[in-house]
Homo-oligomer: A and B are copies of this chain.
Amino acid sequence: MSRQFTSVWTREPRSRPAGPGRSREEIVKAAVELLDAEGLGGLSMRKLGAKLMSGATSIYWYVATKDDLLELAYDEVWAEISVPDPDEAHWREVASVLAHSMRQAMLKHPWSADLIGRLPALGPHAIGVSERMRRTFRLAGFTGTDIDFAGATLTAFIFGMTTPEIAWETTVEGVWDTAAAQAALTKAAAGHPELLDAIGTMPDEDPRVMRAMAFDFGLVSVLDGLERRLAT
C-alpha cells in the first residue's frame, strides 16, 4: 500500500559518463532484436548476455531489473508511432493515422501486445504520443474529462483489436496446421448455428486483408461515435 512507485523513467540511470563499456542504447537495441525474433518468452538475461558477448549478469550494471529493460524496449515501440500535427490536420485524420500507425508498430513488434496497457507508459515517446492525442481531441471540441475519455476509447479500440490479430498470427498462422485449426473450430462450434454460419460463409479472402477490413470498420465506427458526442 505504501511501496514507492517505481519505473525506469523515475530513476536516474547509473552511469553518467559514457565509459568504454556498453551502453543502455546498445543493450535495449539487442533486447528489441531478441524480442522481435523470439517473443517475450524468448528474452532472458542469459540469452541477452550471450548476444552481447558478455556475462548475463553484466547487464545489471546498466539496468536495475529485467522489467526496467522491458520498459525501455517498450518505449521504442511508441517511437515508431507517427501522429500528424493536431494543429494542421482534422482530428479524424490525426486519429486515423495514429490508429493505423499504432497497429503497424504492434504487428511489427508482436511482443508489445503483452506490454501495452499493462506497463506504465512513461517513456518520452509514449508521453509524446499522449500529448498529441490529447491536443487532437481538445481541438476537436471535447472539453474536461471528455478529452481523456475520447483518447482512452480510441486507444482501447486499437489495442483491443490488434492484440487478437497478433495472437492469431503468431499461433494459428505461425505454427499450426491451418486446416486442423479450422476443424477444431468447427468442432467447437457444433450446435451453435450462428457460429457454423459464420464459418460456412467466411469469404475466401486473404485473412490479413480481412483483418485490415475489420480494423477499418471498427475505426470508422469509433470515430463516428466520438463525433456524435461532439454534436450533443
Contact = CB atoms under 8 A, between A and B. Distances in A.
B218 A153 contact: yes
A84 B131 CA distance: 40
B188 A122 contact: yes
- Most chain B beta-carbon contacts within 10 A, residue among A114, A128, A184: A184
A194 interface: yes
A225 interface: yes
Nearest to A133: B194
A194 B130 CA distance: 9
Interface in A82-126: 113-114, 117-120, 122
Interface string A186-214: 01110011110010010100000010011
A177 B225 contact: no
Contacts of A149: 213-214, 217-218
A15 interface: no
A198 B153 contact: no
A144 interface: yes
A56 interface: no
A167 B118 contact: yes
A159 to B, nearest CB: 4
A140 interface: no
Contacts of A164: 117-118, 152, 156
Contacts of A181: 5
Interface of A: 1-7, 9-10, 113-114, 117-120, 122, 127-128, 130-131, 134-135, 138, 144-150, 152-153, 155-161, 163-164, 167, 171-172, 174-178, 180-181, 183-185, 187-189, 192-195, 198, 201, 203, 210, 213-214, 217-218, 220-226, 228-229
